[in-house]
């Protein structure tokens, strides 16, 4: 069996790695080809090019790289057509991967699957009608998505979220502090600016400013800036030399969040990781004005963070655009640290349980039935 696969960001690499493990458990002879990150490469995928090249977000940022994005997508499509795989699985990144599915369906005999349902419940619901023309199946992270897809006669399976299955329900913060050599008496605050270059540039300044503010105000507060390895190019270490209360951790967000008492997280998959780690959080997001204007007109949900969207109400505070500044972050962090967060953590636990699907055959059974 030969499976073509395409991943466009770090969270997709996590999902792809789990998918490969699950399928290898049932068939050791599967050959994976296409595009992925370090975790998938470590399991045998020969990635055609670094996935960071297509890791763009929003409506404006991809436009600046459109020529390269289209070039790389055509390269993948041509490669898949020549290799004639049995399946194509596009993992998240719908703007990039759905175009691959559509093109492959018109050129070769192949089964196409999208892993992570495009967020039709958040924006552009009219896309649903088109999916059945070039997608044979959708693997859904959330149960409610299967009902939406069923109403449009689109085959789907709730597979759960691997983060929910790999993170324990009850988190021992002190245990993780020991693993990271952190002082248990300190109050640890995780800072996650995002994984994409544009997100990091939008949020990093405020993180340094609040660390500087607390350095002389409260010596018990210790900040951990959690970054991907791709962020090493910025050499943030040189920028924090005068700050004694902040450290940097690369490619270890799960353990950082599990060890932290509080967090400030840029909207994205990391907010779900924070919830599963039972870490009270503030969610932030800032992008260029044009992207935000377009997004605000299209998005049909009241919230931007996954915990709030999935729970259906405001359980974590969200700060957007110009409100993402030093003064507001300090005020909201002080508030978060002074409040009783037991209800928030209870909601996180409930959410955690809802995202678990321990059926180890869930992926293989779908492929085997096609």
pLDDT of residue 353 exceeding 70, the answer is: yes
pLDDT of res. 124:
56
Pairwise CA distance, residues 241 & 100, whole Å: 45
Q: What residue spans of 84-192 are helical by DSSP H?
A: 94-107, 128-134, 143-150, 162-166, 173-179
Contacts of 114 (CB under 8 A, 6+ apart): 89, 90, 94, 97, 98, 101, 131, 135, 137, 138, 139
C-beta of residue 76 within 8 angstroms of C-beta of residue 34: yes
Helix axes 10-24, 362-369, angle to 10 degrees: 70
- pLDDT tens, residue by residue, 52-74: 777 654 444 555 567 778 888 99
Model pTM? 0.84
pLDDT of res. 293:
55
Q: Hey, what domains does the chain have and what are their CATH numbers? A: 2-161+356-369 (3.40.50.2000), 173-354 (3.40.50.2000)
- How large a percentage of the chain has pLDDT more than 90? 72
169's tokens: 């329900």
Which of 363, 149, 155, 166 is closest to 257 using CA atoms?
166
- pLDDT tens, residue by residue, 152-175: 889 999 999 999 999 999 999 999
DSSP reduced 3-state for 118:
coil
Pairwise CA distance, residues 73 & 282, whole Å: 36
Q: What integer is the mean pLDDT of 288-311?
A: 72
pLDDT of res. 174:
96
In angstroms, the first-to-last Cα distance of the chain is 12
R_g of the chain, CA atoms, integer Å? 21
pLDDT of residue 20 exceeding 90, the answer is: yes
10, 73, 97, 140, 239 from 235: Cα distances, Å: 20, 31, 32, 37, 8
Q: Specify which residues 226 forms β-bridges with.
A: 249
pLDDT of res. 136:
96
Write the burial class of residue 165 (CB in 10 Å: 0-12 exposed, 13-18 middle, 19+ buried).
middle
Q: DSSP letter at 223?
A: E
Q: What integer is the mean pLDDT of 180-189?
A: 96
Q: What integer is the mean pLDDT of 296-303?
A: 65
Q: What integer is the mean pLDDT of 265-287?
A: 95
pLDDT of residue 367 exceeding 90, the answer is: yes
Q: What integer is the mean pLDDT of 252-278?
A: 96
C-beta of residue 121 within 8 angstroms of C-beta of residue 301: yes
Mean pLDDT value across the chain: 90
Instruction: Tally the residues of the chain.
Output: 370
pLDDT of res. 59:
47
pLDDT of res. 56:
53
- How large a percentage of the chain has pLDDT more than 70? 91
Whose tokens are 């149960």? That residue is 143
pLDDT of residue 314 exceeding 80, the answer is: yes
Which of 198, 191, 329, 201 is closest to 260 using CA atoms?
191
pLDDT of res. 68:
79
Which of 66, 127, 62, 121 is closest to 101 using CA atoms?
127
Q: What integer is the mean pLDDT of 359-366?
A: 93
pLDDT of res. 222:
97
pLDDT of res. 104:
97
pLDDT of res. 51:
79
Pairwise CA distance, residues 340 & 229, whole Å: 35
pLDDT of res. 100:
96
Give the distance, in angstroms, between the CA of residue 218 and the centroid of all CA atoms in the same chain: 32
CA dihedral 134, 83, 161, 170 (to 10 degrees): 180
C-beta of residue 88 within 8 angstroms of C-beta of residue 80: yes
DSSP reduced 3-state for 75:
helix
């Amino acid at each position: 069996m030969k499976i073509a696969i395409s991943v466009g960001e770090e969270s997709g690499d996590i999902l792809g790695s789990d998918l490969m493990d699950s399928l290898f458990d049932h068939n050791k002879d599967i050959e994976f080809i296409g595009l992925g990150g370090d975790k998938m490469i470590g399991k045998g995928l020969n990635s055609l090019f670094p996935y960071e090249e297509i890791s763009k977000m929003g409506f404006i940022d991809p436009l600046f790289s459109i020529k390269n994005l289209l070039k790389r997508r055509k390269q993948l499509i041509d490669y898949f057509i020549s290799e004639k795989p049995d399946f194509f699985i596009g993992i998240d990144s719908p703007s990039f991967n759905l175009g691959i599915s559509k093109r492959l369906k018109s050129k070769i005999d192949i089964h196409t699957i999208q892993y992570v349902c495009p967020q039709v419940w958040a924006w552009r619901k009219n896309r649903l009608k088109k999916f059945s023309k070039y997608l044979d199946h959708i693997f859904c992270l959330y149960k409610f998505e299967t009902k939406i897809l069923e109403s449009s006669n689109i085959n789907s399976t709730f597979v759960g979220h691997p983060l929910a299955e790999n993170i324990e329900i009850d988190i021992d913060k002190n245990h993780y502090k020991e693993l990271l050599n952190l002082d248990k008496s300190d109050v640890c605050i995780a800072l996650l600016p995002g994984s994409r270059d544009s997100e990091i540039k939008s949020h990093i300044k405020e993180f340094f400013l609040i660390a500087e503010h607390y350095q002389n105000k409260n010596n018990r507060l210790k900040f951990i800036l959690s970054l991907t390895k791709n962020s090493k190019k910025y050499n943030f270490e040189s920028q924090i030399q005068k700050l004694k209360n902040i450290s940097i951790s690369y490619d270890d967000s799960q353990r950082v969040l599990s060890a932290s008492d509080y967090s400030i997280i840029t909207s994205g998959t990391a907010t779900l990781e924070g919830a599963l780690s039972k870490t009270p959080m503030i969610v932030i997001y800032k992008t260029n004005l044009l992207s935000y204007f377009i997004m605000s007109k299209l998005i049909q949900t009241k919230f931007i963070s996954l915990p709030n969207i999935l729970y259906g109400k405001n359980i974590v505070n969200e700060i957007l655009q110009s409100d993402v500044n030093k003064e507001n972050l300090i005020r909201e962090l002080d508030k978060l640290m002074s409040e009783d967060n037991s209800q928030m953590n209870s909601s996180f636990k409930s959410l955690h349980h809802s995202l678990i699907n321990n059926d180890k055959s869930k992926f293989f059974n779908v492929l085997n039935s096609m």
